[in-house]
Every structure is written in structure tokens, then in C-alpha cells.
Structure 1
Amino acid sequence: MIVLYSHPLSGNSYKARLFLSLLGLDREVKTVDLMKGEHKSPEYLAINPFGQVPALVDGEEVILDAQAILVYLARKYGNESWLPLDAFSLSAVTRWLSTTSGEIRQGPEFARLFHLFGVKTIDIEMAAQKSAFILEAIEQHLSDRDWLATDTPTIADIAAFPYIALAPDGHISLDDYPNIRAWIDRIRHLPGFVGMRSIPAPDTVGV
């Protein structure tokens, strides 16, 4: 049984939970209460010494970091379309995994941390500027394509999706980005999609 250590408001936890669902894998999701400091407990630090979520345990394997979890699941349980092996496609996926940990983190993710979680050490003006930069770049990138890396959805899309879709939580509007909104909708209609707060599944819209 795969066990995912997660928090329901964590976008990084969500991307792992989403991909597990898209792959149709049996899993147990265990909540780590960040507000109570459970991520710093000796029990959890024995699983993830970094004290972060998500962490995934698959038998004797322990995989840390959301992007690494996506790579592991794609290679072990997915087909090659999720993580292609040809040099060009693999480089394209890797580029977006890097962008997720770089520009998307420093922009929409940091803005969300500031506004939703009150992390006041974040420079919100810089986060807003970085958000505008990466959203404009992705909007342009999606002007003639449906998916970020290849002609089909890959883990690049799953990695980038949560904090882009959650941008309004950080007071970052997506109104001026129709290509991004269409991309978000395509992901929301993938078979096996599950939502989280602020990202409802299609059949729960308006509920």
C-alpha cells in the first residue's frame, strides 16, 4: 500500500495526491497537521528529516519532494506519456519541473503563503512581480499548444498546475490569462481528477 503524508491545504501535497488519483493507484493519505507542528515531530522527522510535506512511502521506498514523487510514480506506475524518455521531451518536462520549483514557487506560491497563511517574511511585491512574469510567459507558451511539455499531459502539467490554479488565493487574478484558464480546465477534466479547496472537481462546481 502506498502511503502519502500530506496536508489538505498544501499545493505540493495536492499534486502528489492528484497524480496518484490520475494513475488510479490504491493509496492511504495521512494528514500531517502543519498548524500543530506535526511535521517537526520526531515521528515524522524519522520519515522526512526535512520536516516537509509531502512524503510518499511505497513499501520500503521513501520518496521526498513533490516533484521527485511525480517522477517516481510516473516511472514506476505510469506509461511513458507521463514522463517520456526521448531526449527532447524529457528535457522539456525537466524544464517545467525546474520552473515549478523556481519561478512558480517564487511567484504564485509565495503570494499564496503571504495572503493565505500570513507568512510575512515574504516580499509580496516581488512575489507579485514574479507571478506576473511567469503567468505571462505560460500564457504565451500555451497560445498554440494544449500542454506544457508535449502533445499530451505529462508530470510537467501536474507539477505546475496547483499553484497556478491557486493563484487567486494569493490575490493573483487569472482573468487576463485565457490560455491558462483553458489549460486548468483541461486538467480538471482528466479522468481520475480530484480537487482541493479552491480547485473544485468539475461536477462540484457551484455546490
Structure 2
Amino acid sequence: MKLYDYILSPDCYTIRLMAALIGMPLTLRPVDMHPGREHLAPHLLALNPAGSLPILKDGDLLLTEVSAMLVHLATQAGLDWLAGDMPHAAAEQQQWLSFSSRLTASLGQARLCAMFEAPGDLAALQQNGTIALRTLEAALFEKRLRQQTFLVSNHPTISDVACFAHVVLAPDGGVSLDPYPSIRLWQRAIRALPGFIEMPGIYRRHDLNVEPDTSAGGAAQQQM
């Protein structure tokens, strides 16, 4: 498989991470997205007229949407990554894949504004990103009450991978993760997975902190 890749793109990292977690080798084709804007060059627009990255090519199959790439990679590793063994889990997984688009449109765009001076209302993007983080924090807290570590199951799925990068890179866009102990525990669990790989900009600042208190009383107090 060939991945047209930009090293600082959270979406590209999402695909590199998924491939690493399942042990799938990728041939990386670096793209000079910033400042070269190669993703808008004719030879790449011929592959993806939307002018976005990543692009995944596997033989005759060409994919330009992150969620489709995650599904394609997961099919190489078995049903566990797809949460396909139970209908309600498959539906919940689809909901989190859709939710990851909210993260891209809020936290991801805030990061582009703050780091790359992309156009946009930074304050509004940060506000929308904060709302998304609160939604994720509440969901993860509910999961932990049921002794569940990940978003859809007791084991990781593509739902977790889809949401991970934009969440942990939120501070690059001026949105702190400090108020969200369940998110911080969730990201630690993902970091601990065999095959996990780093991305420039994803720091371990919370790994040295005292373990967040996610008991009912402690979490409620931190969310106030």
C-alpha cells in the first residue's frame, strides 16, 4: 500500500498509526503540503480532486477519505478492529467515525489557524472544539463506569484511532486537555498499545502527571 503523506497532518498520522497498530507496512510518499502546496499540484489533483491528504493506493483501489482507509486497513486485521461482531457496536462505531469529522472541523482547523496561519475564526473553532471534547469526556467517563477503556469495546477499534490525533493535538490550537481526565486516561491506553508510533507534536506532558481521578465524585468535581 502506498500512502501519500504529510508528516505534520493529523489525518495522515491517523493512517500511519492504524497501519502500525496492525503491523501493516506502508510505502510512504512524502508530499510537500506546507509550504510547497504540492497537494494542489496537477499530478495529485488527478488522484484526489478535493486536494486533500492522505491518499491511500492499494493496487487498483484508491481511497481519499480517512474513515474508508481505516475500514480498509482494519479488514486486513480481523473483525475486532471493526467492532463488527454486534450490530449495536457497529452502529456506535459509525457514530464515532462521524464524530471524528467534528474534531477535524473544530480542533483540527483551530490547529491550522494557530500553527499555519490558515484563515478562520480561531475563537469559534476553539469553542466548538471544547464542546466536542466535553462530549468525548462524558462518553469516556460513562464507559469507565462500565469498566470499559475504549469507545466501542473493551478493546481498541478504528473509532479510537479515528479520534485520537485531533484530540491529543488540541493544545496546538490553544485548547487544553487538562480539564478532561477520562480523555487523558484514554490516550494513555492508546499509547500503551503494541505498535503505537509517535507523531511530531504529540507530547507526553500528561504521562508524568498524577493519574487523573475518574471516580464519580472526582470526575464530577473536575468537570465543574
**Would you call these one fold, judging by a TM-score over 0.5?**
yes
Q: What count of residue pairs does the alignment treat as equivalent? A: 199
How many angstroms apart in 1 are the aligned matches of 2:72 and 2:82? Answer: 10
Provide the secondary structure at the position in 1 that maps to 2:79. Answer: coil
Corresponding residue for residue 16 of structure 1: 15
Larger radius of gyration, structure 1 or 2?
A: 2
Amino acid at match of 2:45: L
How many angstroms apart in 1 are the aligned matches of 2:50 and 2:136? Answer: 30
Amino acid at match of 2:110: A
Corresponding residue for residue 26 of structure 2: 27
Alpha-carbon spacing, 1:200–1:28, altered in 2? closer, same or farther (3 Å)? farther
Corresponding residue for residue 60 of structure 2: 60
Corresponding residue for residue 175 of structure 1: 178
What's the offset of the Cα at 1:132? 1.5
Q: What is the aligned-residue identity percentage?
A: 36
Structure 1: segments with no counterpart, 5+ residues: none
Deviations, residues 57-94 of structure 1 (Å, cap 9, x unaligned) = 1111111111110011112x121111022211110110
CA contact (8 A) 2:83 2:152 kept: no
Alpha-carbon spacing, 1:185–1:52, altered in 2? closer, same or farther (3 Å)? same
Corresponding residue for residue 131 of structure 1: 129
How many angstroms apart in 1 are the aligned matches of 2:204 and 2:65? Answer: 25
Corresponding residue for residue 164 of structure 1: 167
Amino acid at match of 2:202: I
Amino acid at match of 1:72: H
How many angstroms apart in 2 are the aligned matches of 1:89 and 1:158? Answer: 16
RMSD over aligned Cα, in angstroms? 1.6
Tell whether 2:188 aligns with 1:190: no
Corresponding residue for residue 93 of structure 1: 93
Provide the secondary structure at the position in 2 that maps to 1:29. Answer: strand
How many angstroms apart in 1 are the aligned matches of 2:37 and 2:198? Answer: 25
Provide the secondary structure at the position in 1 that maps to 2:28. Answer: strand
What's the offset of the Cα at 1:46? 2.0
Structure 2: segments with no counterpart, 5+ residues: 209-224
Matches within 5 A, 1:64-83: 64-75=64-75, 77-83=76-82
Runs ≥4 in structure 1, deviation > 2 angstroms?
A: none
Deviations, residues 138-174 of structure 1 (Å, cap 9, x unaligned) = 1111112311122211000000000000001001111
Deviations, residues 165-206 of structure 1 (Å, cap 9, x unaligned) = 00010011111111111111111111111111122589xx9x
TM-score (norm 1): 0.91
Provide the secondary structure at the position in 2 that maps to 1:82. Answer: helix
How many angstroms apart in 1 are the aligned matches of 2:108 and 2:152? Answer: 21
Corresponding residue for residue 47 of structure 2: 47
TM-score (norm 2): 0.84
What's the offset of the Cα at 1:107? 2.2
